[in-house]
Every structure is written in structure tokens, then in C-alpha cells.
Amino acid sequence: MRTLEQTTREVLDLAAKHFQLPTGSLAPEDDFFKKLGIDSLQTLEMLSRLENHFGIELPDYEVQGVSDFKTLAERIQSRL
Amino acid sequence: MLDLSQYQSIGAALKDALDRFAGEVCLIEADRDREKERLTYREFEERAHPLAKALQDKGFSMGDRASIIMTNQSRWLISAYAIFFAGGVLVPLDYKLTPDEQWQLLKHSGATVLITEYPIWRQLSASPGRASANVQTVLVTEAPANASLAHAQRWEEFRGAGEPAFVPRERGDTACIVYSSGTGGHPKGCMMTHENYLEQCVALTSIYPFWPGVRYLSILPTNHAIDFMVGFFGPFTCGAAVVHLRTLRPEYVREAFPKYKITYVSLVPLVLKNLQKGLQARFDALSGGKRKIFNTLVAVNKALTKGRPRLGVSRLLLKQVHEAFGGELRTIIVGGAFTEPQTLQFFYDLGIPVANGYGLTEAGTAITVNDLKPFRADTVGKPLPGMEVRIVNPAGDGIGEVAVRSKTVMAGYLNDPELTAETIVDGWLMTGDLGKLDRHGHLQLSGRKKNMIVTEEGKNIYPEDTESVFEGLRVKEFCVFAANYIWPKRSMTGEQLVLVLHLEAGQQFSDELRREINTRNQRLLNYKRIHGVVLLEEDFPRTASLKIKRNVLAERLAKLDRGAAVLPL
């Protein structure tokens, strides 16, 4: 079982890879809309990638209003 | 289709539709690649009647208000029908609002019944706003077996025995209270009458008809005027089917087109542009020879569809493109915000017409729509049958405020006669949008007169609704504006909000203040955030009751150079 720290790290690494940013360039508290300049649709694409990686299904409502990696990682962790 | 001129209310029309089309499929619901449910009109009625009966057993009666806060799914429509059947007034709220905002609107609407989904209720029931609203009955769908419901009841178990009594309503009665904005203490609840919907449905289906066998993919939230009309009332009164997806990840949306042979879909410009981007990338990846053939086919299609769409021809010429959309797609309806002409043209050139239009919640979904006779990407189309559009105080170039008069215009704003009187003048709805009518009767929009923005996701944002998050900011005074309201721009895209600050004497716009603004800004939903700060070194003009005179302040700010005045965050 992953710890929340591990999950958070994997979320950050995957998001960086998905948006072609250097590994380590994202922080847990980062607002991904602002930091990555992405829209809600691109966020959904990122979520699909995270779901595949973690082998979970994250309903749309679970990520409603979430805009930082830390909270996103917590939501993922709760479903692992 | 039912002859809607014969009906007095949404409930009466839907009731007859369920009988008339009893054996037709009306709803398909899928979660990712799994189909969860497929209901005929008869089965829909069998689900809705026990709910209507249970509501009546609880004392719910004519004119009582019931709110739905749900994602797009079958229970949304079943619940809405039950409310109309029982003579109630529906208050559809956006499930994407925060719990506080939802409670504010529940309170304002006077809803006594709330129907929602378990995950939404989990957040709502934990919010302190609950105490202020008058909601007495809460029905929660899909709650896990061991879930704590916080005094709510399970929707699935809320069933009355026996037949409910149908409660007739009149055309002029309020059918829905739809909030066009107002989450920051200035609720704008549009009182939409049964006549508004009946007339709008007749007008829209005269151009974009539904019939049994048509499948409409419901993506826009059903609380939104467009989806309520073309993803519920319109298809139901014609015996068509509505397809709901429980997740809106792009890959599942793409799969739904061929899987369910979709006929119509409504999208916001953001999603349409994303589709365009995806298709363009695929076209760009074609090898030289294939690309040449493809471009030739597109050119032939363009020539053959110049005067009007010819779906059969386009589907033959550009078979692979159309098959990716299931081969049955007739039209993409786009709404909620302004769509760039080149995006509309891109799809039309592929033989996929985009029904571009213009509307406001206050006017009952759509005012104008492109009738495709011929297709034009540079306008928002012509007024729908029954709509009168005129341009008020046009300038030399013919541009002025767009005003509308029709049976689809709302009765007024709930509990706000003053705002109603400002908005509906001598029977004309003043839209606050600027545009002109060309010699062919097409409406061309060119900007806004009102202090608001519309995002590409179709969200209407009123600056006042974002201000509460900045309350207590350590400055002398502040105010949020739509930048284009201060510095009028002949554009309907790329609109942004700015925070105007009047600092205390001697105070600097420090990094600390910038950080605090950023932190507070992040508390807002992403599409509501401000994009820059404007500093003003004078007191804001105020009324006797100390309200900011926004129009006067905007005039003062307009004297500043926009490029230099707006500081990035």
C-alpha cells in the first residue's frame, strides 16, 4: 500500500510527464489550473492518465472543485 | 411530435408524451464503457409516478418548489417529471457550485424539497449554510448501504403507493426558477413560465426536429437552459432518446458517438474547440498522398454544401470522419458562450453543421440560431420563429444593445421587481449584449454592455459574485470588474476579470499583498478567478447608501491605458 506521500509524488511526476515538464517542477500545493495553464478538459485528460496508473476509477464528482495536487492525491489515496 | 400549442404546461405535455411514445426508448445511461440503464417511456413513467405520489403524500402541492442538484443522469429527468406532475416549480441548480453557494440559492428560491446525489449531499450536509434554508425533505440518490444520510431519505426508497393525482398548471404559471447568476449575494432567479418552454420548444424543433429514433447526447449540465430544452423537454415531446454519460472524460465522450449512434449533441465552445484540435491533429498526421486526397474531398464537400448541408453527400465523401462520430450525427449544437467563426467553419467544411446560436436564460434558451440556409460562420444566425429582435440606440456602424421580445422571455426575476423593471422595458428584454442585424436578418454580436464575462465553458460570471472572497483584504477599498466593461472591446472571447484596488495612503502594492490576493483568488473556482489588478489612487464613487457606483467608477477607470493599468498576478 502506498503512503499519501508516495501517491502525491507519483501524481506530481505523472502530471509533469503528461504536460511535458521537467520532473520535480511541480509542488503539492500548486494550483494546476494556474501552474499548468490548463482548462477543465485538459484536467479530465490528466485524470484519465492518473486512473490508469493507479488502477482506480475516480468519479467526476470526486474531483469537483479540486485544483491542487495535494487534494487530488488525497482523493486518489482514498480509493486505493 | 406533440402539438404543443394544445398544452398548458410542461407536465401535461410530458404526461401525454409518456403515453404516446410508451414503447420507445427515452433514456440510456452509461458509466464509462458500461451501460447502466435503458428505459422506455413506459418504464420512465413507472419510475416517476411513485416518486410523484410520495411527494404528494408528504404534502407537496401546486406551486411548491423543489430543487434538483445532480449531474446528468436518468434520475434528474425522472425527478423533474415527478415535480411537474405534482404541479411543483422546479429549481434546477448547478452541481458545480460550492455547497455555500447552493444553500444560498436554495434559501433564495424557497425550495422545500431537495433532490440530489449522495456525494453532493455529503458536502451539502456538512456545510453551515444548511441552517438558513427552508428545505424540509431531502432525497438522496445512490447512497451506499451503510452511508450516514444526515436526515435525508433514499431516493430509491421514497415511493408512494397508488397513482399520484396529476396537478394541472396554466401557461402563465412559473414552471422553473433558473439562476442565471447570483452566488455572491445578488441572486438572479429567472422565473420561467410553462409558456416560455412550450413556445421555445416549438420554435427550436421547427429548425432542428426530433423524432423517435433520434439520440441526443446530454453533456451540458441539465440545469442549463440548453440541455433542459434539447436534452429533456424537446426530445421527450417528440419521442426521442437522451443518452447520459456519468463521466465526461474526453475518451468516453468520443466513444459514445459511434456506440450510441448519436444524432445531436450540445457542446460549449471549449469542448468543440478541443474536438477540432483532435481532428486537426489526425488530419495533420496523414501521409502526403492521403492528405492530398483528404483535402480534395473536403474541397469537393465544401463546393457541394455551399448552399445548404447535404448530409448524405458529406457522409459518403468523408466517410471516416463521419464514422468517428457514429455516422448518424446531424448537427452539433453549440451554446453557452461565443464560438469563433473558424471553428464553426472547420466542422461545416467536414459536413458536420454546427447550430450556432445566441441566447440567454432570461429569454428561454435561444433567441437566434443558424438555420443553415445557407451556413454562415460569421453570425449567430437569425431570430427563431416568434422572436422579435431589435437593436436599441445603434451607433453609426449599426451596433447597439440587442433587445428581444417574445413569448419565451421570463416573467421576471424572483423577489426582485427593481431588477426586473431594469431588464424588461416595455416588454423588451434588454440583453446587455451589443450587436447589429445585417441585411439578411442575421445577428452579429460584437461585445457586451453589461459588467460580466462568459467563459468558453459557457459560464456566466458576474464580478459582484467573486467579491466576497476578497472581503477583509488589507486595502482601503476594492471592486471587481469585467475588463471589457471598463475598456469596451469589440470581442466576445478572451474575457477576463480584474480586481480594482484603492490602497491606503502610503501603502504599496507589495509582494505580500499580491500573495494574499493570489491565495484568496485560488479559493474561487478556476473559471471565476481574476486575472489582474488595477490600482486607482482615488476614492470610489458611492451612493448615499455607500454602494459603489460601478458605472461611474468604470468611466473613471476607462481613462487609464488598459495595457499599462492591468498588473499581472
Tell me the pLDDT tens digit for each residue of B417-439. 999 999 999 999 999 999 999 99
Closest residue in B to A60 (Cα) is B247
Q: Mean pLDDT score of chain B, rounded to an integer?
A: 93
Residue A76 confidence (pLDDT) = 93
Distance from CA of A19 to the nearest CA of B (A): 16
Q: How confident is the model at residue B466 (pLDDT cuts 50, 70, 90)?
A: confident
* Domain limit, last residue, from B199, B231, B260: B260
Q: Do B246 and A31 lie within an 8 Å CB cutoff?
A: no
Q: How confident is the model at residue A78 (pLDDT cuts 50, 70, 90)?
A: confident
Q: Do A47 and B120 lie within an 8 Å CB cutoff?
A: no
Distance from CA of A3 to the nearest CA of B (A): 25
Residue B373 confidence (pLDDT) = 87
Q: Do B246 and A62 lie within an 8 Å CB cutoff?
A: no
Quick check: B185 pLDDT over 70?
no
- The reply to whether B402 and B328 lie within a common domain is yes
Quick check: B385 pLDDT over 90?
yes
Residue B44 confidence (pLDDT) = 98
Quick check: B477 pLDDT over 70?
yes
Length of chain B: 569
Residue B194 confidence (pLDDT) = 98
Buried b (16+ CB within 10 A) or exposed e, B191-228: bbbbbbbbbbbbbbbebbebebebbbbbbbbbbbbbbb
Residue A28 confidence (pLDDT) = 94
Of B71, B271, B457, the CB nearest to A60: B71
Could you give the number of structural domains in chain B? 3
- The reply to whether B418 and B479 lie within a common domain is no
- The reply to whether B313 and B336 lie within a common domain is yes
Answer whether B454's CB lies under 8 Å from B334's CB: no
- The reply to whether B380 and B326 lie within a common domain is yes
Answer whether B389's CB lies under 8 Å from B225's CB: no
- Mean pLDDT score, B95-113: 93
- CATH number, residue B209: 3.40.50.980
Q: Which residues of B touch A78 (CB under 8 A)?
A: none
Q: How confident is the model at residue B143 (pLDDT cuts 50, 70, 90)?
A: very high
- The reply to whether B335 and B223 lie within a common domain is no
- The reply to whether B476 and B520 lie within a common domain is yes
Amino acid in position B99: P
Distance from CA of A60 to the nearest CA of B (A): 6
Range of the domain at A72: 4-77
Closest residue in B to A37 (Cα) is B526
pLDDT in tens, B253-271: 989 999 999 999 999 888 8
Of A33, A39, A48, the CB nearest to B249: A48
Q: Do B250 and A44 lie within an 8 Å CB cutoff?
A: yes
Whether ipTM tops 0.85, in short, is: no
- The reply to whether B526 and B486 lie within a common domain is yes
- CATH number, residue B497: 3.30.300.30
- The reply to whether B171 and B77 lie within a common domain is yes
What are the Cα distances from residue B1, in Å, to B8, B10, B200?
16, 14, 14
- CATH number, residue A35: 1.10.1200.10
Closest residue in A to B569 (Cα) is A34
Q: Of the candidates B349, B258, B368, B262, which has an alpha carbon nearest to the alpha carbon of residue B310?
A: B349
- Interfacial residues of A (vs B; Cβ cutoff 8 Å): 31, 33-34, 39-41, 44-45, 47-48, 57, 59-62, 64-65, 67-68
Distance from CA of B386 to the nearest CA of A (A): 36
Could you give the number of structural domains in chain A? 1
* Domain limit, last residue, from B413, B448, B483: B448
Range of the domain at B69: 4-260
> Rounded distance, CA B546 to CA B540, Å?
10
Cβ neighbours for A74, distance < 8 A, ≥ 6 positions apart: A4
* Domain limit, last residue, from B448, B481, B506: B448
Instruction: Compute chain B's Rg from CA coordinates.
Output: 24
- The reply to whether B50 and B165 lie within a common domain is yes
Q: Do A40 and B98 lie within an 8 Å CB cutoff?
A: no
pLDDT in tens, B356-376: 999 999 999 899 999 888 899
Quick check: B396 pLDDT over 70?
yes
Q: Do B246 and A59 lie within an 8 Å CB cutoff?
A: yes
Q: Do A41 and B271 lie within an 8 Å CB cutoff?
A: yes
